[in-house]
Amino acid sequence: MKRINVLYLITGINIGGAERMVYELATRLDKEKYDVRLFCLKGTGITGRRIEERGIKLTCLGMAEKPSVPDLFRLPFVLASLIRLLKKEKTDILHSHLFRANILGRIAGRIARVPVIISSVHTVEMEKHYHLAVERVTKGLVDRFIAISDSVKKFTIAKTGMKEDKIITIFNGIDPADYDSAEGKEGGADYVIGAIGRLHRAKGFEYLLEAVSLVAGKITHLKCFIAGDGIEKERLREKAAELGISDKVIFTGTDEDVKNLIRSFDVFVMSSLWEGLPVVLLEAMASGKPVVATDVGGVGEVVREGETGRLVRPSDSRALAGAILWMYENREKASLMGKKGKEVVKSLFTADRMVKETQELYGRLLKEKGKIDDV
């Protein structure tokens, strides 16, 4: 039986939740049925190297890291290259991720006559409103959209006018067994709250810093680890200094060893202003850590208030502080929350489940297009 040629297209392939999901899909698809290729518009990075180490061909198309005027002039050439490569690879399924890849992929895929075109939607877009306008114009080029949470699905339908039967939810997933070694905590007298994410306004780290300043006098030996890098780095350092908590907050930079970092936490904190379904949240819960998180996007579909963690309003540093303090004062209950959270991830948010549902979608769409006889 001829294998199905699946091509994943993503804007960049360094570190991030979407990049991680592409890795899981590309490396876990049934190799007897699918032949996998990966294209990225920008440069590669940690995740790209890991994918290549697994024997999957990666092609980068050389767009700039950030959109620019010169980059716009290169778009026709990138589009032409993408069309040529899609034809050369005899692509049966083009599955794209993240905004730039989604838009270029749809256009190139249709011109190259790719039978099945799928776009994954990883977040609710709260800043760049022109993204939604472009989504509305190009949505007709896509056979099916995949939303990573029901909240993302509802947002996309409401903002683009998309028909409900054109978008399905397939939750992000990880391998919980990978995080068994991150359970418990390695010694130390400090009470550690930890956050992981790019240093961007969307992650709401300023509210986390304000929350730390509110609880610093009430929690003995408090430390707050913030792991990640980004455009907000210096501003957040300055804010920590202004709040007088520079000795409490450690900016660790980008840490590839997420499991070991999470192991040092007593509680995982997510202060985001908007999200899709954050992979790092699944990683923290799979590690048995209780969670304090803002109730945005798909977060509330994973964290069960009072059972696996505490949910608070976004942009509310006092509510965030209250939930952190509750975790500190109720450590036995918090520990039970962490254990229950681990079970939730094991039962509902696994990579095996995500890949199985994605492959089922591939089969249904290929059958609809007459490319296979049965799913």
pLDDT digits (tens, 9 = 90+) for 103-133: 999 999 999 999 999 999 998 865 667 888 8
pTM recorded for the entire structure? 0.92
Class of domain 176-348: alpha beta
For the ranges 308-312, 359-363, 369-373, which has the lowest average pLDDT?
A: 369-373
State pLDDT tens for residues 142-190: 999 999 999 999 999 999 999 999 999 999 999 999 998 766 666 567 9
pLDDT of amino acid 77 = 87
For residues 194 and 56, what is the distance between their CA atoms, to the nearest angstrom? Answer: 34
Q: What is the CA radius of gyration of the chain?
A: 21
Assigned CATH topology for domain 4-173+350-368: Rossmann fold (3.40.50)
Contact (Cβ atoms closer than 8 angstroms) between residue 94 and residue 7: yes
* Torsion angle (degrees, nearest 10) of CA 271, 277, 281, 287: 170
pLDDT tens readout for residues 207-233: 999 999 999 999 989 999 999 999 999
For the chain, give every residue range classified as CATH 3.40.50.2000: 4-173+350-368, 176-348
Contacts of 241 (CB under 8 A, 6+ apart): none
